[in-house]
Chain A
Amino acid sequence: MSDDLLVVEGLKKHFPVTRGIVFQRQVAAVKAVDGVSFTVKRGETLGVVGESGCGKSTMARCIMRLIEPTAGRVEFEGREITGLSRHDLRPLRREMMMVLQDPYASLNPRKRVGSIVGEALEVHRLGTAAEIKKRVQELLDIVGLNPEHYNRFPHEFSGGQRQRIGVARALAVNPKLIVCDEPVSALDVSVQAQILNLLKDLQQEFGLTYIFIAHDLNVVRHISDRVMVMYLGHAVELAGKETLYHHPLHPYTGALLSAVPVPNPEAARSRQQILLEGDVPSPINPPSGCWFHTRCPRHHPGVCDVLEPQLAARAVGGHEVACHYPLERWPMSAAELAGSLRPDAA
């Protein structure tokens, strides 16, 4: 069996923008995900970071086939799942589960914890009612909840406990891949640590593979083996976590890293932030050439706004970056970043 659990190639999702009431013409498309390729190895954690609106969640939904991708292939265990019918997809749904962001909104308030966690078992007809109940109680125990709480409603639990219920629900059918979409961003720091530790323990115990989406670079670094940085629907950099955090190549990654809060007053005040000008451009009308050139401190007129960079291996160890002028070293100050390589500065 191959080492790659999931292979994603050229994944695109364009949402149509229509006008008119009866005859809805498509006037534009929101290019939420615009050609993302990567692989996830068995048993590893791939972290995905990027600002809100960069297409992280849409990508996750496309992989899960919760929404239909516009183009591209998704292979799970060597089998293409993008073209499968709903019926053929059903057995595969057991292999991929999702933990959602908001533990308050993602649990049905009118169902008891037992039926929330056991629902997938019922859908896939994995046992009798008594067996399912036993399995659910076992799952509650695994995620650190009291199995006696089987008959409680979600509102009786705190935010951290609810997220544990979300994790138990994802674990119920013994999936191979769990996609975590911002699982800790709604939680307090202390509770966040509990959930992160739980996810790590479960991965060791059950050999799980995670795609971990978050905007907090500290969290992603803690949990991931490899990290992918997304910007405006594109993957701009993909590398092992040590490589990415110590030797980033893309200016956007550099800017993100320079903004991470460090819990050390002296370091926090002495470091130089690379501030990006302006907002993320609209995905309806993305910039020509490199998507990042409108905000990039290193952008070369005539190159970056014309040629679209491809995600390609630039250094050893499978470090991939989509940039015409990657960083030579790190850390770099904002002035160095802008000054070096500029034709007029040279």
Chain B
Amino acid sequence: MALLDVKDLRTTFRTDDGLVKAVEGVSFSVEPGQTLGIVGESGSGKSVTCLTIMGLNDRRSAVTTGEAFFKGDDLLTMPSSKLRSIRGNEIAMIFQDPMTSLNPVHTIGWQLVEAVHLHQDVSRSQARASALDVLKAVGIPRADQRIDDYPHQFSGGMRQRVMIAMALINNPDLLLADEPTNALDVKPQAQILKLMGTLQKEFGSAIVLITHDLGVVAEIADDVVVMYGAQVVERATVNELFARPSMPYTWGLLGSLPRIDHDVERLAQIPGSPPSLLNPPTGCRFHPRCKYAMSICQSVMPELLAAGGSATHLSRCHLDQATRDAEIKKLESGHFAEVT
């Protein structure tokens, strides 16, 4: 049984300007010990998907439907007391910005101990001992001294490690990481990714990793969900996605990455900007920016269907298989610029 099974998740926000459908029919599942990458531009609904699963949306303005089964229980309908006992314990979240997610007026030791006390009935000294252990596990040098430091005394990479330590302290089965390496340099980014990989092996947690960087996905994900305009547009295993990306938006994302292993004069940019979810385009959400758009794309929303003859590979596009195969051929020879 999947650890987390999300089915047809929909989140709508009531705003002064009207209804914003931030997540529309998102489904995916995560097996124990696996890593799922969710990729998309800002505003594609990837963070809201996570917040919805965690029940962290504002209850007054957000309306959620669908199902999110965690170990067989639906997170979306369970009473909030039960959800609270799961949150931070069995499911933990790493937030994007390590500076604003840590409390500046308490030492990190205090904050870690608080996380332990919320979910475990242990003494202060035991809680502090496990805080120290987890700080050592995430590679904070001189952890026994630094445990009494305040967040501002840490560098960005170190603060992100503290965030990871806080998420791991109760040994969660599922870790939701929202752009954990976004604010970081290449070097600490590589260290954090490697750290998450080792910790996953050690603790056997499953990870849902949200990012806009396909390079990061290639690094640690097992399965990938590509989101665009509040919907899933492609879903595949990581090898399938990079070997046979099967819709124009994914091609665009791959083409816009400057790569150290390829030389191109111009990057293949995706023209325009992401759609407004207040008033999304009719038909395929991507058609106003898509170079392959046909007349059907403007009126009919494509379904998420099997692509490339693999059961694990789904994509949402009207293009016929022959055209896609031809484009994937071009991609393989490194001609990203010609594709989009």
Residues of A within 8 A of B (CB): 51-53, 158-161, 188-194, 196-197, 200, 215-219, 221-223, 245, 255-257, 259-269, 273, 275-276, 278-279
B299 smallest CB distance to A (angstroms): 25
A53→B242 CA distance, assembly (Å): 34
Cross-chain contact B261 with A216 (CB below 8 angstroms): no
Closest to B191 in A: A275
Cross-chain contact B238 with A265 (CB below 8 angstroms): yes
Chain A residues with Cβ below 8 Å from B191 are 259, 275
A296→B141 CA distance, assembly (Å): 17
Closest to A193 in B: B256
Cross-chain contact A190 with B242 (CB below 8 angstroms): no
**In the complex, given contacts A188-B41, A197-B267, what are 17 additional A-B residue pairs having Cβ atoms less than 8 angstroms apart?**
A51-B186, A52-B155, A160-B273, A189-B256, A190-B270, A192-B256, A193-B268, A194-B271, A222-B264, A263-B218, A263-B257, A263-B259, A264-B218, A265-B218, A265-B242, A266-B239, A273-B194
Within 8 A of A (CB), among B8-45: 41-42
A262→B264 CA distance, assembly (Å): 15
Chain B residues with Cβ below 8 Å from A194 are 256, 269-271
B201 at the interface (CB under 8 A from A): no
Residues of B within 8 A of A (CB): 41-42, 141, 155-158, 185-191, 193-194, 212-219, 238-239, 242, 252-261, 264-271, 273
A279→B187 CA distance, assembly (Å): 10
Cross-chain contact B252 with A190 (CB below 8 angstroms): yes
Cross-chain contact B270 with A193 (CB below 8 angstroms): yes
Cross-chain contact B258 with A264 (CB below 8 angstroms): no
Q: How many pairs of A and B residues are in contact by the CB < 8 Å rule?
A: 128
B83 smallest CB distance to A (angstroms): 31
Contacts known (A273-B194, A275-B191); A263 close to B214, Cβ less than 8 A: yes
Cross-chain contact A261 with B218 (CB below 8 angstroms): yes
Cross-chain contact A267 with B155 (CB below 8 angstroms): no
A162 smallest CB distance to B (angstroms): 12
12 contacts between A and B (CB under 8 A): A189-B212, A190-B41, A193-B257, A196-B258, A216-B258, A260-B186, A261-B190, A262-B259, A264-B261, A268-B218, A276-B187, A279-B157
Chain B residues with Cβ below 8 Å from A278 are 141
Contacts known (A218-B258, A260-B186, A275-B194); A265 close to B269, Cβ less than 8 A: no
A261 interface neighbour in B41, B219, B242, Cβ under 8 Å: B219
A203 smallest CB distance to B (angstroms): 12
A171 smallest CB distance to B (angstroms): 19
